[in-house]
Amino acid sequence: MDCPCSSGKSFDQCCEPIISRTRKAATAEALMRSRYTAFATGAIDWIIDSQIPEGRPFTDRRATEEWSKRSTWKGMEILETQQGGEGDDEGLVEFKARYELAGEDIVHHEIASFRKEEDVWFFVDGLEVKPRPWKRTQPKIGPNEPCSCGSGTKFKKCCGKPGAAV
């Protein structure tokens, strides 16, 4: 079976050994991939255990498990990593996680921070990256201005008319 983290590797060669604790995550990215896979496979213990110990009391296990089970996990994409290598003690991983919940396709974009303590990587916190607001690039056409389609009529009588095909 392919690993849910979209690494292109098989589950037993990628995230399964990390989730089952037979191998440590060598990098912050490897830990991030294993956490996504834990959500996709319902390995809630790993989601909690891979979090920094001081953050665990703030994790709602029941809500996390419910979200994990109700979602259809569709893959993840690592966009960028900063530090987080085998020789580092801290790192950032920017990623997009794709899933479906209640019939809605969702893309969760986050920058996650990680810290290594006693040679073990932990998830510290995540900052959701919100999409930039849409900004109009063309000036707004007033209702009494000539229509931009070139008809010679006012916008409100042409393309600005309710139900008009723009």
pLDDT digits (tens, 9 = 90+) for 141-150: 888 888 888 8
pLDDT of residue 123: 98
Whether 71 and 115 map to the same domain: the answer is yes
Whether 32 and 101 map to the same domain: the answer is yes
Instruction: State which residues form the domain around 159.
Output: 136-166
Residues in CB range of 153: below 8 A, 6 or more apart: 146, 147
- How buried is residue 49: exposed, middle or buried, by Cβ count under 10 Å (0-12/13-18/19+)? middle
Mean pLDDT, rounded, of the chain: 93
Whether 97 and 121 map to the same domain: the answer is yes
Is the predicted pLDDT of residue 13 greater than 90, yes or no? Answer: yes
Is the predicted pLDDT of residue 133 greater than 80, yes or no? Answer: no
**Nearest Cα residue to 146 out of 136, 159, 164:** 159
Q: Give the tens place of pLDDT for each residue, 98-109.
A: 999 999 999 999
Whether 80 and 113 map to the same domain: the answer is yes
How many domains, the chain? 2
> Between these two residues, 31 and 149, which has the higher pLDDT value?
31
CATH at 64: 3.10.450.50
Q: Is the pTM of this model over 0.85?
A: no
Tell me, yes or no, whether 1 lies in a domain.
no
Whether 101 and 160 map to the same domain: the answer is no
Whether 159 and 140 map to the same domain: the answer is yes
Whether 90 and 112 map to the same domain: the answer is yes
